[in-house]
Amino acid sequence: MSYKRRAPIAPFTLTTILAALFLAAVSFLAPAPSALADEAPPRVEGARTVDADGVLALIESTPTLVLFDNRREADFREGHIEGAIRLIDDDMTGPEVLAKLGAAPATPVLFYCNGPKCARAYNAARLAVGWGYTAVHYYYAGMGEWKAKGLPLAKP
């Protein structure tokens, strides 16, 4: 009976293992775009994307709608959609944050920011969907379209 002797396999070093784990973690966390993305995705799975006319229709037809302005404080002070609550996406640490602001999982919610070059509304809508919110609306075009249409702005 003969057998072939195999060449010894080089042992993995701790550095190699840690590097592989780090790369796996980074690739797992990478899908969410930053707040200042080149272009935010136009759709959020599980949410309905709306334009300015859709926002107006929602405001008219949905008295329980909670509007979230996901922009910086300075942008909000320059003008926002009437009745919007400023909530930056970074402050959305769990569903209890939305609940404290009057939005239960079945409550219709709408998220907006400055538009396609800002991913804050995308991030916020994605979080809400992930937390089980069932009536999520995403205003992709955001304040850029709102202002271009000359729609009214509220100021604090």
CATH for 48-148, among 3.40.50.1970, 3.40.250.10, 3.40.50.1860, 3.40.50.720?
Answer: 3.40.250.10
**What pLDDT digit, counting tens, does each position of 40-61 carry?**
999 999 999 999 999 999 999 9
Confidence of residue 3 (pLDDT cuts 50, 70, 90): very low
In the chain, domain spans = 48-148
**What pLDDT digit, counting tens, does each position of 25-40 carry?**
433 344 444 455 579 9
Alpha-carbon gap, residue 70 to 90, rounded angstroms: 9
Q: Which of 21-25, 31-35, 101-105 has the lowest mean pLDDT?
A: 21-25
- In angstroms, what CA-CA distances link 8 with 13, 16, 57? 15, 18, 70
- Mean pLDDT score of the chain: 85
- Decide which of 2 and 43 is more confident: 43
| pLDDT on residue 19 | 47
> pTM for the complete prediction?
0.77
What the block records as the tokens of 66 is: 């909670």
Q: Which of 13-27, 102-116, 121-135 has the lowest mean pLDDT?
A: 13-27
Q: Read out DSSP for the chain? A: ---PPPPPPPPPPHHHHHHHHHHHHHHHHTTSPPTT-SS--S--TTSEEE-HHHHHHHHHH-TT-EEEE-S-HHHHHH-B-TT-EE--GGG--SHHHHHHTT--TTS-EEEE-S-TT--HHHHHHHHHHHTT-SSEEEESSHHHHHHHTT---B--
